[in-house]
């Protein structure tokens, strides 16, 4: 796993198990997303490093997920925030199913389904909106 994730896990084996769990869930990594054109249905997952809920976004939440290859921007539409409240507001590791969007180099996954991935021995807290 990338050095940015190295401090999150107690050891390398834990990081490897995280990727295995993501793969079993059908998740693409951030590197694989770079090959997509846009419009595809995808599953992605990773460590939530930042949560944002800007006043101007009308209740939409933005998650920044990190995996071993980079970052994944996830959009949580406002209508899906409350039904998925526990996961999108509090989970450390998240698996997201949604539509991949691309505008040049800007890539997002507009989430449709959200699931928490429970991980052992992790010491991390995301930067959350207030």
Q: Rounded mean pLDDT of 46-73?
A: 94
Residue 107 buriedness (CB in 10 A; 0-12 / 13-18 / 19+): middle
Fold of 3-116: OB fold (Dihydrolipoamide Acetyltransferase, E2P) (2.40.50)
The C-alpha atoms of residue 38 and residue 56 are separated, in whole angstroms, by 25
Q: What does the chain come to in residues?
A: 130
**Higher pLDDT residue, 114 or 23?**
114
Q: Where are the domains of the chain?
A: 3-116
pLDDT band of residue 129 (cuts 50, 70, 90) is: low
Once rounded to an integer, what is the mean pLDDT over residues 102-120? 92
pLDDT tens figures, 60-100 = 999 999 988 889 999 999 999 999 999 999 999 999 999 99
pLDDT grade for 123, boundaries at 50, 70 and 90: low
Per the CB < 8 A criterion, the answer to whether 81 and 88 are in contact is yes
Please, are residues 61 and 88 in contact by the beta-carbon 8 Å criterion? yes
> Who's near 93: CB < 8 A, 6+ residues apart?
18, 45, 46, 47, 48, 116, 117, 118, 119, 122
């Amino acid at each position: 796993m990338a050095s940015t994730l190295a401090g999150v896990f107690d050891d390398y084996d834990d990081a490897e198990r995280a990727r295995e769990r993501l793969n079993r869930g059908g998740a693409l990594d951030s590197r694989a997303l770079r090959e997509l054109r846009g419009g595809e249905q995808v599953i992605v997952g990773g460590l939530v490093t930042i949560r944002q809920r800007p006043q101007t976004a009308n209740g939409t939440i933005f998650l920044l997920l990190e995996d071993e290859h980079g970052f994944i921007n996830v959009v949580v539409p406002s209508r899906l925030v409350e039904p998925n409240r526990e996961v999108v507001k509090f989970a450390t590791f998240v698996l997201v199913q949604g539509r991949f969007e691309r505008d040049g180099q800007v890539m997002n996954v507009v989430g449709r389904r959200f699931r928490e991935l429970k991980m052992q021995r992790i010491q991390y807290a995301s930067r959350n909106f207030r």
